[in-house]
Amino acid sequence: MSTVTSGDQPLPSSLLDRLAAVLGPRGILTGTADVEPYLADWRALYHGRTPCVLRPASTAELAELVKLCAAAGVPLVPQGGNTSMVGGATPDEGGRQVVVSLARMNRVRDIDPLDMTMTAEAGVIVKAAQEAAESAGCLFPLSFGGEGTATVGGVLSTNAGGNTTVRYGNARELMLGLEVVLPDGQVWNGLRRLRKDNTGYALRHLFVGAEGTLGFITAAVLRLFPRARETEVAFCAVRDEDAALALFRRFRDRDEAAVRAFEYMSGTGVGLYRTQIEGGNVPLDGADHYVLVDLASSRPDAGLRTLLEAVLEEALEAGEVLDAAVAESEAQRAAIWRIREEHPEAQKREGASVKNDVSVPVSRTPELMRRSSAALRALIPGSRPVPFGHLGDGNIHMNLQQPPEMDPAAFLARSHDIMDAVNEIVRDLGGSFSAEHGIGRLKTDMMEGWRGGAELDVMRRVKAALDPAGLMNPGKVLP
């Protein structure tokens, strides 16, 4: 989407010297090859430039560098695992924006299985946080495709969702407290591990989802949960989109606390998995609509199999479920999840695709999928809608695969038309143009149309109040 320009604008040597004194030799990267991995986003939509990459090892170092850069008017771009889907963590092409990587701040400071909390630094990888929780006998439930690379700071800054939001909430709901370095270098220690704390404005919620435009999240107190002692996973062929929703409702009404994930997949998407992924076996082939149900409970005697079979039987009788495969082992559970998890990779191998991370009220998901699919097929004849994802949250990734014969570049040139076509329907259904990926750079130009008026006015006032010089992640979130 943007061109690479060579060269950059180095920082004044006096500032570099001061930064070096604070950060030490491991803390500053300036070589072209060294900074390269920090310049392009994961989807390769953008490729920016930077004078250098700063890698503080502690909150104190970060606070010091922010003060120095603020005094010099240097704009900063926070970066965690660099897995943003919307170009939220990479610098622009101007060559002035300094990337600040939180990767070295990767300590789990504390785990308390009685308080059910973990205090983790921003650079802790989500997978590592999961493992740390597990080794303390607990569960950190946030889970999504990028969990092996994404960091705690990143998922909080984007308010990541993922597969288990339906049960445990998104990143915001898993956060009790934050430590933040403000745009002027002040450190706010809000690492409280309290379930109830009504003492003024909820600043922590302002930084979550702000995508680094209001300051650096440097550490967080995260909520933990008891581990699952019973799990059941089923892969179901369902009649249509309405049947998928009806099945979700049946499970939720029976035991909403047991529904850990409820993921929709289309016949097209499952077909791509079968043809593009090695060993891509599918238990129930040939249907147009599928659902993955994942039930879990910390009760060892939860009776989830009974619950699962009872609900599936009702839904079979009602004609909603056509057929269902219930996993009988951990390997089978993993195999079913793999169908869902490999959707992005299968789409990638099949050719070009355009991603739409949208949400609607749960009740409108069937209409979203049907209307969007029709609109997209009409927009680009031969294109293949691949809706999939978190039906239980109303968050369907309404993706579109290129027509087999079409030139990928020509298809991608229609990206904005494709997003617009979906968004028009999303708006009509009372939905959102960004469910869990955020705004970053990709969707800033949609903010005026969707959040304009009073809402954007307040956002701008908040931004100006916290970051009057506009040095924190400029060009992201706000148009």
Site for a copy of itself in 146-175 (CB under 8 A): 158-159, 161, 165-166, 169-170, 172-173
Q: Parallel, antiparallel, or unpaired for β 259-266 and 289-297?
A: antiparallel
- Answer yes or no: are the C-beta atoms of 225 and 309 closer than 8 Å: no
Instruction: Record the tokens describing residue 94, joined without a space.
Output: 């101007």
CB of 259 to a copy of itself, least distance (A): 11
CB of 199 to a copy of itself, least distance (A): 5
Sorted by sequence, the CB contacts under 8 Å of residue 435 that are 6+ apart come out as 161, 357, 358, 359, 393, 394, 395
CB of 454 to a copy of itself, least distance (A): 4
CB of 23 to a copy of itself, least distance (A): 22
Comparison of 179 and 341: residue with beta carbon closer to a copy of itself: 179
- Answer yes or no: are the C-beta atoms of 251 and 293 closer than 8 Å: yes
Tell me the number of residues near a copy of itself by CB under 8 A: 94
Our finding on whether 250 is near a copy of itself (CB under 8 A) is no
Centroid of chain to Cα 99: 20
User: From CA 140, how far away is CA 129, in angstroms rounded?
Assistant: 7
List residues bridging with 79 in a β-sheet.
Answer: 101
Query: Given candidates 327, 447, 471, 472, which one binds a copy of itself under the rule CB under 8 A?
Result: 447
Length of the chain: 479
354 to 413, contacts with a copy of itself by CB under 8 A? Answer: 359-363, 390, 393-395
Query: Given candidates 36, 134, 197, 428, which one binds a copy of itself under the rule CB under 8 A?
Result: 197
Identity of residue 247: L
303 to 322, contacts with a copy of itself by CB under 8 A? Answer: 303, 306-307
215 to 234, contacts with a copy of itself by CB under 8 A? Answer: 225-226
Sorted by sequence, the CB contacts under 8 Å of residue 334 that are 6+ apart come out as none
CB of 419 to a copy of itself, least distance (A): 14
The binding track of 257-276 with respect to a copy of itself, each residue x by CB under 8 A or -, is xx------------------
Pick the closest to residue 273 from 350, 382, 333 (CA basis). 350
State the Cα angle at 163 between 162 and 168, rounded to 5°: 90
Our finding on whether 135 is near a copy of itself (CB under 8 A) is no
CB of 296 to a copy of itself, least distance (A): 10
The binding track of 67-106 with respect to a copy of itself, each residue x by CB under 8 A or -, is ----------------------------------------
